[in-house]
Amino acid sequence: CNEYDGKILITEFTPEAENMYKKSGLFLYQKPLKGMSYHFLSNLKEILPAKNIKWKKVLFLLKLFDVSVNSVVKSLHFFKSYKIENYEVANILDEDSKKFIAQNQKKNCFSRGLSEIDWIVNFPWILNGVSSEEKVYQFSAFEKKFEYFFIKIYKDKILKTLLMVSIRNKNAKLHFAIGENNTSECSQVLLQFIFKNNLANFICFEEEINKYLGKKNILFKKERNRKFLMHKKLYEILDSDFLFDVSAVDGDAIFT
């Protein structure tokens, strides 16, 4: 706090750290970012052993449960139709997408600009593969699969919305929704993307999209909220009309 003269905003803290920050009397809570985690498929064979190693003893039963539940879920999704065809998916940040991001940059100090998004995509700290080295740096990770996708939604052949999504194994996150936000259309496109890629979990912090997805019959839903603490000195420095509006879903794939 002394080093930065109180110009500090904190998020993604543990409960223990939060207690310390509160007891210091130096911080004020800001508007939290409210999101949802949707479980479209059962994935207990991955979730439970990660929480408690004892579950590995019944891994076969967990796999059997997942297969049984997911066969029913997939058969139900098969009969649902989301007839949105005016979109395409790219796994690179192409020139059209770059131009679109630059043109639709929000006038918000928290919004990521083109240079930041380009850096995020080209220098991910979650890498594909398995590391053979000892894990000495805790802010790096290896996964079987990690990739960014850009979903481009068109209207009359003109790009209107760009959705940036990451997939980490079978888990996906919506990081940015840029441009027009036609809630129904974006939500249906995301559902098509989720089903097509056989994703188990999807995290979204876009309020309007969550209102739409929240009405759907999904296996399991859970609230995910991000808290923010601002140092009192920083709060005093900012103008009284300063808008605290965080929209980016950095999660664990982007440094904040």
Question: What does the alpha-carbon distance between residue 119 and residue 113 come to, in Å, rounded to a whole number?
Answer: 10
Give percent of the chain above pLDDT 70.
Answer: 89
pLDDT digit string, tens, across residues 89-115: 999 999 999 999 999 887 777 777 888
**92-95: Cβ within 8 A, 24+ apart:** 92/121, 92/150, 93/117, 93/118, 93/121, 93/148, 93/150, 94/150
Residues with Cβ within 8 Å of 111's Cβ and at least 6 positions away in sequence, in order, are 105, 247, 248
pLDDT digit string, tens, across residues 147-167: 999 999 998 889 999 999 999
Residue 190: pLDDT over 90? yes
6 Rama sector, left if φ>0, alpha if ψ -120 to 50, beta otherwise:
left
pLDDT for the residue 20: 96
In DSSP terms, 83 is beta-bridged to none
Residue 135: pLDDT over 60? no
pLDDT for the residue 253: 46
Cα–Cα nearest to 172, from 154, 153, 189: 189
pLDDT for the residue 78: 60
What mean pLDDT comes out for the span 6-31?
A: 92
**Confidence grade of residue 249 (pLDDT, cut at 50, 70, 90):** low
**Exposure of 136 by Cβ count < 10 A (0-12 exposed, 13-18 middle, 19+ buried)?**
exposed
**Confidence grade of residue 256 (pLDDT, cut at 50, 70, 90):** very low
User: Side by side, which strands form the sheet with 33-39?
Assistant: 87-90, 146-155, 158-168, 171-179, 201-204, 33-39, 220-226
pLDDT for the residue 123: 82
Could you tell me the pTM of the whole model? 0.84
- pLDDT, mean over the chain: 85
Give percent of the chain above pLDDT 90.
Answer: 47
Alpha helices by DSSP H, the chain: 15-24, 44-51, 59-78, 95-103, 114-122, 183-196, 207-213, 232-237
> How far is C-alpha 119 from the chain's CA centre?
17
pLDDT for the residue 82: 60
Residue 81: pLDDT over 50? yes
